[in-house]
Chain A
Amino acid sequence: MQELIHNFGIDPKLLLAQAINFFILLVILKKFAYKPILKALQERKEEIKKGIDYTAKAEEKLASIEGLKEKTLADARKESLSLMINAEKKGEERKEEIIKEADKKVESIVQNAKKTIAEQKLQMSKDIRKEAETMVRMGLEKTLGKMPASERDKKLIQEAMKELKTAI
């Protein structure tokens, strides 16, 4: 055994010293290097896990937001459609109302015009009649004025006397 160790060039003392050195190094490393590294690794691992969790949650949230967005959009579309239909309906009603009012106005204007024309016609006819009457009167007055009074009044006075008989 010693020979074999010798052949391999192993010095037990040196080996022991190296073992002690290794042990000391191991203790030092374990205390000052492995623990902080492991701790850092652990922390990193947790952070990564948190990140993954956050990502999953964010994805979930995004999905729900997408759904909400879709729903909101659908609602908005529905509402806008309903508004458009209502507006169109109201517009149609207003249009009919305006047409009716316009018809009414036109009718009223026509009626007024007819009335005015009829009134003017009547007035014209009255004026013409009055003018004719005045002219005829003037003619008759002139004729009567030129007639001798006895001839002109004879019949009228006779009528008056006849009426007088029954007057009292």
Chain B
Amino acid sequence: MKYSNKQYAQALQGALTGKDEKKQKAVLKRFVQKLHQQRGIYRLNLILKEYEKKYLQEKGFIKVQLEYPEQLPAGIKKEVEKELKHKIYFLEKTNPKLLGGIKILINDEILVDATAKRQLDKIFSSFKQ
């Protein structure tokens, strides 16, 4: 029977809950070995993402990734928190290719792309049409 990433994440969470750090490491090691045996190691990243999402949900957090062309200016995180009215687990990413503006990814699902690159792409694609 083939399990979904979500099912694996749930199983991992169940195995990790209530354990001390040492035991958690051992559980993780066994989990990875098992996944490797089942030839599903390529799914590890997706399973961990599911796990992270579930963990953050349970703790009442939402995951927000902020992508900016250079170092993130001060005050942006607060503005985001103010708009989303939630406890936020922030991830930062620097990407000079964005040229300007900001890209916000919420829970790996919702994307707010207000970058200069996107604006340019839009303009040039309208020229092509």
Contact = CB atoms under 8 A, between A and B. Distances in A.
Interface of A: 129, 133, 137, 140-141, 144-145, 147, 149-150, 152-153, 156-157, 159-161, 163-165, 167-168
B116 A144 contact: yes
Main secondary structure of the interface of B (DSSP, over half): mixed
B101 A168 contact: no
B101 A160 contact: yes
Given A156-B116, A159-B114, 12 more contacts: A129-B127, A140-B99, A149-B70, A149-B100, A153-B73, A153-B100, A156-B119, A157-B76, A163-B114, A164-B84, A168-B106, A168-B110
Contacts of A129: 127-128
Interface string B25-62: 00000000000000000000000000000000000001
A163 B73 CA distance: 19
Interface residues of B, number: 26
Nearest to A151: B100
B12 to A, nearest CB: 26
B80 A161 contact: yes
A102 B79 CA distance: 76
B86 interface: yes
A159 B122 CA distance: 16
A133 to B, nearest CB: 5
Question: 7 closest A-B pairs (Cβ-Cβ)?
Answer: A156-B101, A160-B114, A164-B83, A156-B114, A159-B114, A152-B100, A163-B112
